[in-house]
Structure 1
Amino acid sequence: MSSTDTHQPNETRIVAEPDLPIIVITREFDAPPERVFRAYTDPDLVVQWLGPRRLEMRIDRYDARNGGSYRYVHRDDDGTEYGFHGVFHEVRPNERIVQTFTYDGFPDGVSLETAVFEDLGGRTRVTGRSLMDSIEARDAMLKSGMDVGVREGYERLDELLGGQQDDSADQHTETGS
């Protein structure tokens, strides 16, 4: 995928590698890597954007550092809870996060996830790569509706970054889509 693709800059692209148990998610944001990375690692910000709009999120722990761990729960209107947990293996500020990801409802389905933050000169491209145990596990993840949660979460992250106040003076609110 080259930078001359005809996709919209802030379009979320979710691609399953054909013969590998890998999902690649790519998204650009109108904010520098420092702000996007902070939104990924600060639990006070993560709770504001991660996941579908219809679910409430509770963070039990979120220690985004090498060797740290996390656990959070999404709660539906009917009280149904969906828990997730994992370990941060590498947290390289403004560049990269490597972590495991496990859904409590499928405890044998641990995936390894890598997020890379690419500086586009005031904007950021995040490329996430999830490696699962098998192609069947990858396909089950895709059929779970994860695409809705990812897309809505990234829309919410756009909104957060547009209104987030920090040491960055230039706030970009136009998404170009």
Structure 2
Amino acid sequence: MSNPLVLDAPPGQPLIEYHREFDFPVHSVFAAHTDPDLYARWNSSGPTPPRFDLFEPRSGGAYRWVQAGDDGVEYAMRGVFHTVRQDEFLLQTFEFEGYPDVVTLEYSTFTGLPGGRSRLTGRSLYPSVEFRDEFLSNGMGDVMSDGYDQLDELLGSVPAGS
């Protein structure tokens, strides 16, 4: 991919920081994070799209979605949207229900770049370095990278202005 995901997990700190550029406008990248139909098309690691039980991308809203793995077992994720600023910023929590009480705080900043391009910058804060390292060792970096590659493909297939 011409725009690789850059991921940093500082030693001894319970966080990851990342950024990735997209050859699409900031509005399109933001919409793909807040429109459930678009989100389901790129943020899926199983054989079928996720099922949304709840998806309210607004300040104070919440979400819960369920993803079936290759083995057919369902895995649920949930969280709260604390702050949503259109085309600029998302602050939300993320909890994989398979790890109850391990909630991450996730910051996403969307920045417009010259030429109709954009940059997504993020930070995920974990309850401990150990939990952060466990998520990384389970392939989280590869899943994120694959998802953003799928997002590139999706945005390339959606007509401009959609």
Could you tell me the TM-score, scaled by structure 1's length?
0.86
Amino acid at match of 1:29: F
Q: Deviations over 1:27-84 (max 9, x none)?
A: 1111111111001000010000013264531111110000000011111232111110
Higher helix proportion, which one?
Answer: 2
> Which residue in the other structure is 1:80 paired with?
73
> 2:71 aligns to what SS in structure 1?
coil
**Is residue 65 from structure 1 mapped to residue 76 from structure 2 by the alignment?**
no
Amino acid at match of 2:32: A
Count of aligned pairs between the two proteins = 161
Residue pair 1:102, 1:110 contacting (<8 A) in 2 also: yes
Alignment RMSD: 1.5
**Is residue 38 from structure 1 mapped to residue 13 from structure 2 by the alignment?**
no
In the alignment, the residues of structure 1 paired with residue 107 and residue 61 of structure 2 have an alpha-carbon distance, to the nearest angstrom, of 15
> Which residue in the other structure is 2:9 paired with?
16
In the alignment, the residues of structure 2 paired with residue 39 and residue 142 of structure 1 have an alpha-carbon distance, to the nearest angstrom, of 24
> 1:128 aligns to what SS in structure 2?
strand
In the alignment, the residues of structure 2 paired with residue 147 and residue 51 of structure 1 have an alpha-carbon distance, to the nearest angstrom, of 14
Runs of 4+ in 1 over 6 A off after TM superposition: none
> 1:79 aligns to what SS in structure 2?
coil
Bigger shift: residues 12-21 or 60-69: 12-21
Amino acid at match of 1:40: H
> Which residue in the other structure is 2:149 paired with?
155
> 1:56 aligns to what SS in structure 2?
coil
In the alignment, the residues of structure 2 paired with residue 145 and residue 26 of structure 1 have an alpha-carbon distance, to the nearest angstrom, of 17
In the alignment, the residues of structure 2 paired with residue 120 and residue 54 of structure 1 have an alpha-carbon distance, to the nearest angstrom, of 34
In the alignment, the residues of structure 2 paired with residue 16 and residue 43 of structure 1 have an alpha-carbon distance, to the nearest angstrom, of 29
Unmatched segments (≥5 aa) in structure 1: 1-7, 169-177
Query: Aligned match of 1:52 in 35, 45, 53?
Result: 45
Query: Aligned match of 1:25 in 18, 32, 39?
Result: 18
Q: Write out aligned runs for 1:90-129 (5 A).
A: 90-121=83-114, 122-129=116-123
Residue pair 1:59, 1:73 contacting (<8 A) in 2 also: yes
Unmatched segments (≥5 aa) in structure 2: none
Could you tell me the TM-score, scaled by structure 2's length?
0.93
Residue pair 1:84, 1:101 contacting (<8 A) in 2 also: yes
In the alignment, the residues of structure 1 paired with residue 146 and residue 102 of structure 2 have an alpha-carbon distance, to the nearest angstrom, of 23
